[in-house]
Structure 1
Amino acid sequence: MTTARTSDQPGSAASRRREQRAWYWYDWANSAYITSVGTVLIGPYLTSVAERDACGRVGTTDNPCDGNVDLLGLGLSAGSLVFYVVTFATLLSAVVLPIVGAVADRVESKRTLLARLAWAGAIAACCMFLVAGSNWQLGALLLVVANLCMGASLTVYDAILIDIAEPDERDRVSSRGWAFGYLGGGLLLLLNLGLVLGAGDLIGTDTAVRISLLSAGLWWGGFTIVAYRGLRDHPPLDVVADPRQDAGLVQRSFGQLWSTLKHLKNYPQTMLFLIAYLFYNDGIQTVIYSSSVFGQKQLGFSQEVLIATILLVQFVAIAGALSFGRVARSIGARRTIMGGLVVWMVIVSVGYVLPAGQVVPFLVLATGIGIVMGGTQALSRSLYSQMIPKGREAEYFSLYQAAERGTSWLGTLVFGLVHQMTGSYRPAIFALIVFFLVGFVLLVRLDPRRAIREAGNTVPAAV
C-alpha cells in the first residue's frame, strides 16, 4: 500500500496552494454581483423604477409629481431610495452577521455554510429579473436579501483565509483574490455591456438590464460550486468554551457573540482598526455604490458610458490590487493603506468639480479609483486577519463585514441625506472626504505589531 506524499498532506505548502486557488474562485463568483448589480445596474435602474412610481400618478393639479415614493407612510426621494435601502440592509446585517460568524466558528464545514449563503443570495439576484414597471418594492426587498447574503457569505469566506494561508502569505493571497475577482466581475460586465449596447434597441434597455441582473445571479451561484468543491473542511480549533454546552448551536453562538463584545476591550488595537476601517471603507463603498448614479444623474452620461467606465475600473483594479500587495511586502500593509486613503481624498475632491458631459476627465478619475480600490480593501482584509484571536475568526470577521463591500451604512446614509437636502450629488460625493480623513488619522495611531501580539498571533515580517 502506498502512502500520500508529504507535500499532499493537509497543511502542507502544496495543499495550501491548491486551497488558495479554489478560494480565489469565490472572489470571481461574487464579484459579478458586486460589479454588474451593486456597482452599475441596480442603482440607476431601481432609481428609474421608483421615479416611474413617483410620477406615475400625475394627471391632476391635486397630485403633482414631487419625486417622492411612499414607504410605510414616509415620503422618500426616489433619487435617494437605493441609498436608504442599502443603509437598512446594513443595519440589519449588524444584527445578523455576528450570529453567522459565531455559527461559522463552530460548524464542521465552513465551505458548506459559505456555499448555502451564496446560493441564497444568488437566487435573490436572479429574481431581480422580475423587477419591472414601477414595482420598486420588489427590487428593494431583493436588494436587501442579496446584500445580506453577500455579507454573510463574505464573513465565512474571509475567515477561511486564516485556515488556508500562513501569516506571511496573507497579503499576497488576499491581493490575488481581489485581483481574480475583478477579472471575473469585469468579464461578465463586458458581456452585459455587449447586451445593453447591442440588444437594447431590439428588446429595450430595461429588458437588457434585467437579463444582466439575472446573469449576475447565475454567475454568482454557478462559480460558487468551483470554490465549494476545491476547499477542504477545517474543523474548528480553539473555540472559546461556552458554559451552556447543552444549549442549541444558535444559543451557544449568541453566548460567544456576547463574550466577544464584552471582551473586545482586551484588544484595543484591533478595536481601533475596526473603527478606522468602518470609516474609510464606508467612504469606499459609498463611492462604489454612488458612482453610477452620480455619473448618470449629475454628469449626464448614458448607461452605456457608465458601464464602459466601470469596466475600465475593473481591469485597472486588477493591476492595482497586485501592485498594492507588492508594495506592502516592502513597507507594510498599514502604510500602504494610508497612502491609498490620501488618493481617495483627492478623488472625491476632484469629483466635486468634475465637469458635466465630458467623458475624458471622468475616465481619468475612474482610473484613479481603479488603482486604489482593490489594493486598500485587499490589504485591509489581510491586515485584519492578523489581529483576530484564535477561535473567534469568523465572528470577528462578521464585525469586519459590517463595514465591508456591499454593506456600508453611514456613508450611504450621509450621501442620501446630503443629496436630499441640497438636491445635488456634488456636495454628497464631496462629503465622503470626512470618512477617508477620519480613517487616515486613526490608522496613524494604530500599532499593528502590538495588535497582532495582543491577539496571540505570529507577527509577519512586514505589517
Structure 2
Amino acid sequence: MSATGDLDRTTPDSSRPEHTRRRAVVAWGLWDWGSAAFNAVVTTFVFAVYLTSSSFGPEGTVEAQLGWALAAAGLLIALLAPITGQRSDTSGRRKLWLAVNTYLVVALTAAMFFVRPDPSYLWLGLFLLAAGNVFFEFAGVNYNAMLSQVSTPRSIGRVSGFGWGMGYIGGIVLLLIVYFGFIQGLFGVPDEDGLPVRIAMIVSAVWFGLFALPVLFAVPEYRGAGARREKVGFFASYARLGRDVAKLWRESRPTVWFLLASAVFRDGLAGVFTFGGVLAASVFGFSPGEVILFAIAANVVAGISTIAVGALDDRLGAKPVIVAALTGLVISGLLVFFLRDGGQIVFWTAGLALTLFVGPAQSASRTFLARIIPPGREGEVFGLYATTGRAVSFLAPTMFALFVTIGGAAAFGILGIVLVLLLGLVMLLPVRAAQERLKD
C-alpha cells in the first residue's frame, strides 16, 4: 500500500503469518474470554441492572438517564472509532492501543466499586459505564484488526469462531461465579450497601485484566502495510478517512455494502440477547431464576455452535454461513411467536435455536470483513464496522417497541426483531463474496 492510501490487495503484509500458531490463537482468544467481564457482567446482567434499581431513583427516570448516557457513549464511538483504528494502523502500535484501551476499561470497572446504592452516586455510575463502553469499543477495534495477525486465509473462520466462542463461555463461567458467589451469598459477602455487586466489579476487573495479558505477550506488534503509510495529525485523519471511504466505494464497493448490511443484521443479533430475557419473563412466565438458567444455556449453545461452525466458514466462505444463520434466526423467531401459546417448552426449544445461530452470524461477519479489507487498513475498517453498527443501533429497540405498541402485547416485539434480521439478510444477499482467492 502506498502512502496515498492505495487499496491494492496485492501489497505484501508482513504482519500476516504463513502458518497459524496455536499459542498466538489461544492468547488472542483469551482476550475475548476476559472481555466477557465487561460484556456480560457490567453492561448486561449485573452493574447496569444495579444502576437501574430503585436505590438510584424512581422507576423510569434512571432507565432514561442510563439510555442518554449510553447514547452519548455511542455518539463518541461513532465519531472516533474509525480514526482511532486508522491511527493505530499507521503508528504501528495496534497492540499498544489494545493494551491502553483494555486497561482503561479495567480501571473503570474497578472504580465501579465506589458506586454506592444512593441517588447521589448515579451520575458517577453512569459516567463509568458510558466511558467503559467507549474504551471497550476502541479496544475491540484493535482486537478485531489483530485477527489477520493470528490467522491465515485458510484458518481465519476457525480462529474467529474460537474467539467468539471463548467470549460466550468465559461469560458463563464468570456469571456463575458472580451470581452464586456474590449475589446468592456463597462467598459470605454481606448483603448491604450494594457490596455483592460492588465487589463483583473488582472481581470482573481482575478477570479482564488477567486474561487480557496473554495476547500482549504472544502476538507481535503490528508491522504490516498500514504502518508504512504517512502519519498525519488528528484532524487530518478525518480528511484521510473521507478520501479512503470514497476510494473504498470506488474500488472495493462490496466492503461498503457489507458494512451497511452487517450493521442492520448485527443490531438484530444484539436484539435477540437484549430482549430475550424480557420475552422469557413477560411472555412465557419465566421466574428470575429461570431467566438466568436460560441465559446460561443460551450462552453455552451460542459458544459451542460458534466454535463448531468456524470450520464451515473456512470451507464454504463466510457469506453462506451468515445467510444460513440469519435464515435460521428468522424461522426460529417466527416459531417463537406463532407457537407462544405452547408455554415454556416453546421458548426452551425455539428460543435456544435462536441462540444457536447468533454466534456463527457474529463470527462469520467478522471473518467476511477481515477477508476483504485491504492490507494495512484493518484498524480503520473495523473502526467503520463499529461506527456503522452504532449508527443503526436504534433499529431493533425501535422495532421491538413499535410492534409491542401495535400488537398490544410484548410477544409482538419478536416480530420487530425478526423484521430487522430479515432486512439485514435481504441487504446482504446482493453483496459479492469474492473471497475464494484468499484461501490459496
Structure 2-normalised TM-score? 0.84
Equivalent of residue 19 in structure 1, options 24, 29, 40: 24
Alignment of 1:60-209 (within 5 A): 67-69=59-61, 78=62, 82-131=66-115, 132-134=117-119, 135-195=121-181, 196-199=183-186, 203-204=190-191, 206-209=194-197
Q: Which residue of 1 aligns with 2:218?
A: 230
Alignment of 1:160-309 (within 5 A): 160-195=146-181, 196-199=183-186, 203-204=190-191, 206-238=194-226, 241-242=229-230, 247-248=232-233, 250-266=234-250, 267-296=252-281, 301-309=286-294
Give, in whole Å, the separation in 2 of the partners of 1:128 and 1:415: 32
Alignment of 1:8-47 (within 5 A): 16-47=21-52
Give, in whole Å, the separation in 2 of the partners of 1:352 and 1:80: 28
Q: CA deviation at 1:292?
A: 3.5
| Alignment size in residue pairs | 421
Question: CA distance change for structure 1 residues 254 and 185 in 2, over 3 Å: closer, same or farther?
Answer: same
Give, in whole Å, the separation in 1 of the partners of 2:340 and 2:16: 54
Q: CA deviation at 1:40?
A: 2.2
Contact 2:260 2:388 in 1 (8 A): no
Task: Return the letter of the residue paired with 2:255.
Answer: T
Structure 1-normalised TM-score? 0.80
Q: Which residue of 2 aligns with 1:460?
A: 439
Question: CA distance change for structure 1 residues 15 and 304 in 2, over 3 Å: closer, same or farther?
Answer: same
Q: Which residue of 2 aligns with 1:72?
A: none
Contact 1:86 1:408 in 2 (8 A): no
1:53 aligns with 2:46: no
Task: Return the letter of the residue paired with 1:32.
Answer: A
Give, in whole Å, the separation in 2 of the partners of 1:197 and 1:356: 33
Question: CA distance change for structure 1 residues 140 and 343 in 2, over 3 Å: closer, same or farther?
Answer: farther
Give, in whole Å, the separation in 1 of the partners of 2:202 and 2:395: 28
Q: Which residue of 1 aligns with 2:9?
A: none
Q: Which residue of 2 aligns with 1:63?
A: none
Contact 1:183 1:318 in 2 (8 A): yes
Contact 2:400 2:415 in 1 (8 A): no
Task: Return the letter of the residue paired with 1:442.
Answer: M
Question: CA distance change for structure 1 residues 366 and 444 in 2, over 3 Å: closer, same or farther?
Answer: same
Q: Which residue of 2 aligns with 1:409?
A: 393
1:31-77 alpha-carbon deviations (Å, 9 max, x no partner): 23212233322443333248x512xxxxxxxxxxxx542xxxxxxxx
Task: Return the letter of the residue paired with 1:427.
Answer: F
Q: CA deviation at 1:26?
A: 0.9
Q: Which residue of 1 aligns with 2:420?
A: 435
Contact 1:286 1:411 in 2 (8 A): no
Question: CA distance change for structure 1 residues 14 and 438 in 2, over 3 Å: closer, same or farther?
Answer: closer
Task: Return the letter of the residue paired with 1:193.
Answer: Y
Contact 2:78 2:391 in 1 (8 A): no
Q: CA deviation at 1:357?
A: 12
Q: CA deviation at 1:375?
A: 0.9
Contact 1:269 1:447 in 2 (8 A): yes
Give, in whole Å, the separation in 2 of the partners of 1:46 and 1:356: 34
Q: Which residue of 2 aligns with 1:75?
A: none
Equivalent of residue 311 in structure 1, options 296, 315, 326: 296
Give, in whole Å, the separation in 2 of the partners of 1:36 and 1:352: 29
Contact 2:336 2:351 in 1 (8 A): no
Q: CA deviation at 1:18?
A: 2.9
Contact 1:39 1:288 in 2 (8 A): no
Contact 1:174 1:381 in 2 (8 A): yes
C-alpha RMSD of matched pairs (Å): 3.3
Moved more, 376-385 or 222-231: 222-231
Q: Which residue of 2 aligns with 1:334?
A: 319
Q: CA deviation at 1:192?
A: 1.6
In structure 2, stretches of 5+ residues that fail to align are 1-13
Moved more, 170-179 or 83-92: 83-92
Question: CA distance change for structure 1 residues 359 and 139 in 2, over 3 Å: closer, same or farther?
Answer: farther
Contact 2:16 2:152 in 1 (8 A): no
In structure 1, stretches of 5+ residues that fail to align are 1-8, 55-66, 70-77
1:181-201 alpha-carbon deviations (Å, 9 max, x no partner): 222222111212212234499
Moved more, 277-286 or 308-317: 308-317
Task: Return the letter of the residue paired with 1:210.
Answer: R
For the residue of structure 2 that corresponds to 1:167, the secondary structure is: coil
Give, in whole Å, the separation in 1 of the partners of 2:214 and 2:228: 31
Moved more, 199-208 or 214-223: 199-208
Moved more, 432-441 or 349-358: 349-358
Moved more, 293-302 or 277-286: 293-302
Task: Return the letter of the residue paired with 1:265.
Answer: W
1:372-431 alpha-carbon deviations (Å, 9 max, x no partner): 121111111111101112221110000112356x99722355167549957864334431
Task: Return the letter of the residue paired with 2:331.
Answer: V
1:348-382 alpha-carbon deviations (Å, 9 max, x no partner): 43555676996544433442233112111111111
Give, in whole Å, the separation in 2 of the partners of 1:219 and 1:236: 31
Give, in whole Å, the separation in 2 of the partners of 1:296 and 1:418: 19
Moved more, 284-293 or 272-281: 284-293
Question: CA distance change for structure 1 residues 19 and 229 in 2, over 3 Å: closer, same or farther?
Answer: same
